Every structure is written in C-alpha cells, then in structure tokens.
Structure 1
Amino acid sequence: MEVWSNMHWRFLSTAMLALVSLAFTTTTTRADDIKEIEGTWRAAAAKAGGKPVESEDLQKLVVTIAGDHYTAQTKDGTEAGTLKLDETQKPRTMDATRTEGFEAGKVIKAVYEITGDTLRVCYALDGGERPTELATKDGAPWLLITYQRAK
C-alpha cells in the first residue's frame, strides 16, 4: 500500500495512457489483438506492492483506445498518448508514451494480457525496468490494473 501512496494518482493516469498506446502501435502485431483491445475500458481492480488498491478514484478511470492512440479519463482530467506493443515477448510487452497532459514525453513500460473482455496490464510506475510478470510484489514499483470492456 505504501508503494501506491508514494506514486499517487499521477501514475494511475500514466497507466491509462499506456493502456491506450498499447493497442495500436506495434513492433510485431497480430490483427486479433488490435481488434480485441480497441474500445473503451474501465478499471475494475488494481494491486500494488502485492496488495489490493481500494480507491473510488480507480473506479473513475476510463481508457479509450483507437488506432495507436489512447485517451485516459482520470479524476484529475484527461491524458493522451501513443502505444507500442510487442506480442513476440512472454509476457507481451507495451510502451505507452504520453503526448499530452502531465509528464508529456514520458514512456511507461508494461506487460499485458487480454482475454475476452478483460485486459490486465502491469506498469512500471517509476519509469524504471519493465515488470517481468502480471503480478506485483512487496517493494516493487509496479501497478497491476485489471480493466473490463465498457458495454
């Protein structure tokens, strides 16, 4: 929980930006993943430091992905950026680059998994090394968000 409080909401908005960017700018891509990721996603759950993150602000997080661009609606406003993904990696990787909003130009490294209407993304919130799995650990500056497709 301390990891979450240290990173606060500016990283949550970064995470959303990364999600959108992931969808459409790819180094190696399959049309199936791109088709599956496009659309609007709502945060359903999150973990940091190996523990659940409970927050009303998280429930307000909405990410829309169109092409290689994403838009993230957070409690603090709107952020936007581009995504780059690599489906050849295990787990699959994503880089989200903010083009608007707080910390424009910043790249957030992440790993992801999409299954039907569920998208899980684990972000390196500190701008450091990419997570190696879709999980968080005590002391690791990673945020795992589970998104559900908006109906």
Structure 2
Amino acid sequence: MANKFDEILRAFEQSTVSHLVYKDQEFSLELSKDVKTRKEPETLTTVEKVENVEKIAEPKEKEDVLESPANYKEIKSPMLGIAYTRMNPDEEPLVKVGDEIKKGQVMCVIEAMKMFNEVTSEVDGVLKAINFKDEDMVEFDQTLFEVEEHA
C-alpha cells in the first residue's frame, strides 16, 4: 500500500492537476496544491499599453495620403486563385508598369482548379501599378492593376 501511495504522490507532484481525490477499498486520499508551474509572459503595464497605442495610431497628415486620380481604373480579380504575370515561366511578363494598355488586352492569368483564366483590361490607358507578385494567391475582387485611363 505504501508503494501505491508513493506512486500516486509522485504522479500528482509532477502533474499540473491542482486537486485530486482518490478512493479505493483500502484507503482514501485527497490532495491539493497551488499550481504555478509555467512562467507567465511579461505584460505591459496599462500606461505602457496606452503609450504604444498612441504611437501606432497617430493620424497621418492630409498631405501624406495619396489619392488616385479620378481617371484611374482598377482592374480586379474575378476569382480566387494564383495569379501569373507570364503565360510561361521563360517568357516576358504580359504587362509592365508604364506600358500602354488596350481594352481587351490580357493583363495576367489566374489559375483556379487547374484552369487558367485570363484577366483583361476594361480600358485603354497606361499601367500605373501592379498590386501583386507573380505566383501570389489573389482573392475575389482584389485590385490587381491600376490603369490611368485615356480621356
């Protein structure tokens, strides 16, 4: 019986259990302990938290915020998938920033369920921005390209 008691005691000491009740035909045992086995991560004081939030959330000056001109057209992803700027890995990209773009021109392809879907321009203009990297996962309605539309 002493051997059984020692075994239970050792197991209880090594565990994270804080309260144990053991009963059998020979004896009953109730154990409890204050469990503080893992070190708590250091936390910031309330003052430090408030100071950090203020530093992060400082409002930007109005001049710092760039707005797209009214004649910029966003070309968005029609689906979720992997976007490619090239038809084949060893070919040049279909478009580059600064290129003249024609309505209906293929801008990229998106692979979804082993099917390649072309994304075409809806306007004539100059490509001002490509908002993804080759082989990025893109989401439905994500802006892929920004084109400055010709008037």
Into which bin does the TM-score normalised by the smaller protein fall? under 0.3
TM-score when normalising by structure 1: 0.22
TM-score when normalising by structure 2: 0.22
Over alpha carbons, which structure has the higher Rg? 2
Structure with greater helix share of residues = 1
Structure with greater strand share of residues = 1
Higher relative contact order (CA 8 A, sep 6+): 1
